[in-house]
Homo-oligomer: A and B are copies of this chain.
Amino acid sequence: MRTGKAGRPPQDPARQLARAHRILDAAGELVLRWGYDKTTIDDVATTAGVAKGTIYLHWKTREELFSALLRRERVILLTEVRRRAEDGTGMPGELITLLAGALVERPIMKASLLGDSSVLGKLTRLKRDSDSPTALETHLETYLGELMTYGALRADLTPREHAHILASILYGFMIVPQLLPAGYRLPDARLAELTGDAGGRALTPNAPDAPVTPENARAIARVTLDYVDNALEIAQRKLAASLGDPLGDPLGSKEK
């Protein structure tokens, strides 16, 4: 039994949640069309078919609303990656392909990763600072360290360097198409493939050097799924915190 929530369910929580998602749908649509700076709460309310005040029953401030949107995007992205990673090998190149593939399909996440101020406006830098930075990177380096012990990553680089390479390749491949004249762009799927390919080649030992034993291969797949699961779980927890509690909730009041 996992009910957890002490206190009283005010009305129909499922209905509330559905409404929150409708509002986020509207916010997402508008932020893509006009950008964060030009998207007003009134717009969001109208598009979502609720009154403005209702939005403030869900989130205390405009910024919290969009923070929830970003968190939901992250959960969707990770869920998708997790789903596609399900029966993969967990090798870096493969995971990067999945990640890149999911990213090119989620413009808001891509904008968040790239710090694209034409979409996220003033929200751009904020997320970078507050949310993920140290925690995510610590988890990442731990995960990379594990991969190294199983021979999935080159032994001649430090975890720090692996992380650096990973970030550079992912960032580079995601941003370069935006700098190129439209005619030069590759199809999204191809871009994702090449990203994973480049990442895999940069991070992975040369095949003959150190063949991965079957049990190591299994371990690699496992720790990879564990890592994605963990990231997803954290993201889900944060999203729940951003969605749950309409203002009055006694638990949420002292939060943060």
List residues of A whose CB falls within 8 A of some B CB.
Answer: 115, 133, 157, 160-161, 164-165, 167-173, 175-176, 179-181, 184, 186, 190, 194-195, 197-198, 201-202, 206-208
Most chain B CB inside 10 Å of its own CB: which residue of A172, A175, A181: A172
B165 to A198, Cβ gap below 8 A? yes
Task: Report which of B175, B184, B198, B202 forms a contact with A160, defined as CB distance below 8 A.
Answer: B184
- Determine the chain B residues whose CB is within 8 A of the CB of A197 once the complex forms: 202
- Determine the chain B residues whose CB is within 8 A of the CB of A179 once the complex forms: 115, 171
- Determine the chain B residues whose CB is within 8 A of the CB of A169 once the complex forms: 168-169, 172, 198
Q: Apart from A168-B169, A172-B172, list 14 A-B contacts with CB within 8 A.
A: A115-B179, A133-B181, A161-B186, A164-B180, A164-B186, A165-B194, A167-B172, A167-B176, A167-B180, A168-B172, A171-B179, A197-B202, A202-B202, A208-B208
In the complex, A62→B246 CA distance in Å? 59
